[in-house]
Amino acid sequence: MFGLKQKDATLFLVVVAITALAPFLLNPFPENSELAQFNAGYPDLMQRFMIFGIFAIGFNILFGLTGYLSFGHAAFLGVGSYAGVWMLKLLSMNIIPAIIVSVVVAGVFSLIVGYISLRRSGIYFSILTLAFAQMSFALAYSVLTPITGGETGLQLALDDPRIFGVAQTADGSIPLTNFFGLEMRDGIEIAAGPWLFTLNVGYYLSAIVMLASFYVAIRIFRSPFGMMLKAVKSNQQRMNYTGINPKPYTLAAFVISGMYAGLAGGLMVAMDPLAGAERMQWTASGEVVLMTILGGAGTLVGPLLGAGVIKYFENIFSKINDNILYEWFSFMPGGLQDFFVTIIYPFIGKGWHLTLGIMFMLVVIFLPGGIVEGGKRLGRLFSRKKAEGGGSDATPAASPAE
């Protein structure tokens, strides 16, 4: 199916189903309940799940397959964002040209950065990519202010020329981004008793792009090209001895990965037409590294899981404050209530990074393969228990003849 083996096709269909039903699955609690704050089924957050999922999938093609750890991938995300906003300003509010140009510009920039950085490997490669990202951030923040908008960022304006569209609507406002007339903010709300579900155009467009990106990643992983990238990770020196030059393969992986980052940047501005230099900072590059390792580097679905976990923590877990904690522990005596709030408070709200850091540390120590490895271990555990339970009543099989 779809040119995939049965196992990969099943995985792809599962991801498609979860993605399509996400507005319902991520809103498990009624709107008026105290637990509604843990719902993640609103459009802005679901779009972030998809966009950063694309970013992490692309990074995994480089890091997961070749073992080359880039600390500068946010540069391609930022470059793609800037290119996308300029297309919206100059050409049209239709997001297709913006996304295409974002991918192309990020690909060209990654080709330049990769050609230079891949002359070294290991930590030297990582430092070179970090240096390029920080230089890009500095240029965008100060030197290239006429192009990037500096610290205020690049955004749309009422006097934009916009060749294939209007600069402003009839009421004098800036037109909204659209996909051949379908505005990204459009959607419908479905009320089902105390539950409220939102089906948003922007989310489903991002989801379609993510699924296409995921499909391409599966084909890359299973292709001869993907096998060559795994060989680079396994033993690059042995490849050299056999007469195979690994550089073209690693450069191709770097460019593909950069184009994925540019695609994510283009989708970002398609949903919210604003690009800032902070998207190029080293912290943004570190975030995609965390996503990939947390989910499972070198696995197909791991980066998606890692992106979802981190973005959930960033947008949901970080909103819990001391007032909410006091409500949770209101059944306790005053002194005991204060004690539990004091203990838990550093790990929530603004301190959510501490919880994320502990989680990341535990994953690296006990689950080097990330969340995917944890799922596999649970699966093996349950299958072993099921086999042991079924084997107790079963008749022992005859021993084979020697």
Rounded to 5 degrees, what are φ and ψ at 198?
-115, 125
| pLDDT value of residue 397 | 47
> What domains can be seen in the chain, in order of their start residue?
6-281 (1.10.3470)
Please give the single-letter amino acid code of residue 380. R
Q: Along the chain (402 residues), what's the average pLDDT of each consecutive run of 10 residues?
A: 88 96 93 86 94 97 95 95 95 95 97 95 94 94 91 90 84 89 92 91 96 97 94 88 91 97 96 92 91 93 94 87 85 87 87 87 89 89 79 48 40
Q: DSSP letter at 143? A: I
Distance CA 232, CA 245 (A): 10
Q: What is the pLDDT of residue 171?
A: 84
Q: What is the CA radius of gyration of the chain?
A: 24
Amino acid code (one letter) for 143: V
Would you list the DSSP string of 353-397?
Answer: HHHHHHHHHHHHHH-TTHHHHHHHHHHHHHHHHHHHHHHTTSPPP
Which pLDDT score is estimated for 387? 78
Q: How far is CA 370 from CA 122, 154, 195, 233, 375, in A?
A: 22, 37, 33, 18, 9
The Cβ of residue 7 has, within 10 Å, a number of other Cβ atoms equal to 8
Helices (H), 272-331: 282-295, 302-315, 322-328
Residues 253, 247: Cα–Cα separation, whole Å: 10
Cα(290)–Cα(293) distance, rounded to whole angstroms? 5
- Cα distances from 386 to residues 36, 156, 278, 379, 392, in angstroms, run 36, 59, 51, 11, 10
Q: How far apart are CA 249 and CA 242, in angstroms?
A: 15
- Coil, helix or strand for 73? coil
- Whole-structure pTM value: 0.92
Q: Which amino acid is at 345?
A: Y
80-100 in b/e form (b: 16+ CB < 10 A) is: bbbbbbbbbbebbbbbebbbb
Residue that the structure tokens 């391609």 belong to: 76
In sequence order, what are the residues at sequence separation of 6 or more whose Cβ sits closer than 8 angstroms to the Cβ of residue 317?
348, 352, 355
CA 100 to chain CA mean position, Å: 19
pLDDT the model gives residue 384: 83
In sequence order, what are the beta bridge partners of 198?
189
